[in-house]
Amino acid sequence: MKPMKVTRNLEISSREFFETVFLNLAQEIRTTDKTEVNIGDFRTGYRYVHNPENPALRVSFEIVEYREEKLYKAVRISANATTTVCYQVTPMDTGITVDFIYENSADAGKKKGLFSAFGEIYMLGRLTDQLYGIQKDAITRRDGYVERRTSNPLRPVTRKKTEE
């Protein structure tokens, strides 16, 4: 499969961008395995394995390259697929430009045709949504708010100003 790439301009700093990426990663690990992690550990060579005892459910994750506030590349390997995610960040006057490159080996064997074109368009939209979600989280934190998200579709996301 060829990698998919989206480029977006975000109105946050590269420091805010990577801090949000790492906070989200730490939260994912905490939620999945109830393991405390320090975002300062997320550097080139960081490895994490979920379900190490069960080969069918094992998921390994590694940050294969990280250049502070410039580049992040991680690989996630499971029994079904290998997924590579890369963020390349370039500072601008009003924020940053992010190239988000995504590659999933599970997509390699799929037939090409009309439905795969729709699938690719859908996936590019999801990549864009993810970048704008990172921007929203960073701005929310910068402005001193905390968001509470629920799995209940009838309860909206709530934002509350943190006490200083």
Give me the mean pLDDT over the 79-89 stretch: 94
Residue 161 has pLDDT above 70, yes or no: no
Predicted local distance difference test score (pLDDT) of residue 8:
97
Top-confidence residue, 107 or 125: 125
d(CA 56, CA 123): 26
Sheet architecture: strand order including 4-10: 4-10, 95-104, 82-92, 71-77, 59-67, 47-50
pLDDT band at 32 (very low <50, low <70, confident <90, very high): confident
pLDDT band at 153 (very low <50, low <70, confident <90, very high): low
- Considering the entire predicted model, what is its pTM? 0.82
